[in-house]
Amino acid sequence: MYEWFQMLGDYPRVAKLIVGSYTMRDELRLIKEICKKAPDIKLILDASMNWTREEAYTMVSHLPSDNILYVEDMCRSIDDIEAVAQSTGIPVGIDKILHYYPFDRWRKLPNLTVVIKPSLVGGLNKTLDLVKQCSPLNIKTVLETAMESQLGNYNLQVLAQRHETFTVYGIDCERYFKYNLFKPGTAEIDKKLLTVIWESQ
């Protein structure tokens, strides 16, 4: 029988897990088992705002903290995230929360990582503006993809290479596309593969 942990033989340096959908007992058991099988791994736990303050505190208090890079969007409220972070010392990340609160409200969160998805924050210019705000405050910024095309992913890779401020997770998605829009060995789009779905008059 092939067990899931056999895939961890050559495990990644960083892995992201979606949490907050099953019982805490089951999720903690899975996290601890992963860390046991892959002791040097760093985990990003994305709760997608599914925990209450009490649930987040309980979960975080039982995590193997040495293996946790940060816990992302643990609660729906910035006040709840701040309370849990201050009482436990756990590093926190914000992604969806970013769109519900102004910069001045979340910038004071301790040990903060901001997860930026350019297509969701409003494009590359707004992404760079956000990085300029975070950088002087030593807020870590992570670049991720969300619904980008191959061209969009390519642009994110170029952006990441030109701005060393970014940590990059999850933009190497080309292998999941059915067709390659680029001409072989180039960054030039093969226009024959494009479909126009809307054209201005």
For the chain, the structural domain boundaries read 1-90, 117-201
- 20 or 6, which is more confident: 20
What predicted TM-score, i.e. pTM, was given to this entire model?
0.80
**At what angle are helices 24-37 and 53-61 packed, to 10 degrees?**
30
Question: Given a cut of 60, is residue 5 above it in pLDDT?
Answer: no
Q: In one letter, which amino acid is 126?
A: K
Regarding predicted confidence, which is higher, 22 or 190?
22
Q: What is the pLDDT of residue 121?
A: 87
pLDDT tens digits for 64-92?
Answer: 999 999 999 999 999 999 999 999 999 99
pLDDT at residue 2, rounded to an integer: 45
**Mean pLDDT of the region 4-28:** 82
SS (H, E, C) the chain: CCCHHHHHCCCCCEEEEECCCCCHHHHHHHHHHHHHHCCCCEEEEECCCCECHHHHHHHHHCCCHHHEEEEECCECCHHHHHHHHHHHCCCEEECHHHHCCCHHHHCCCCCEEEEECHHHHCCHHHHHHHHHHHHHHCCEEEECCCCCCHHHHHHHHHHHHHCCCEEECCCCCHHHCCCCCECCCCCCECHHHCCCCCCCC
What pLDDT is stored for residue 9 in this prediction?
61
Asked if residue 181 has pLDDT above 70, the reply is yes
What is 1-90's CATH number, 3.40.50.1820, 3.40.50.300, 3.20.20.120, 3.30.390.30? 3.20.20.120
Confidence category of residue 174, pLDDT binned at 50, 70, 90? low
Task: Please state, rounded to an integer, the average pLDDT across all residues of the chain.
Answer: 85
Phi-psi domain of 20 (left: phi exceeds 0; alpha: psi -120 through 50; beta: other)? left
Is the pLDDT at 1 greater than 60, yes or no?
no
Structure tokens at 35: 């860390």
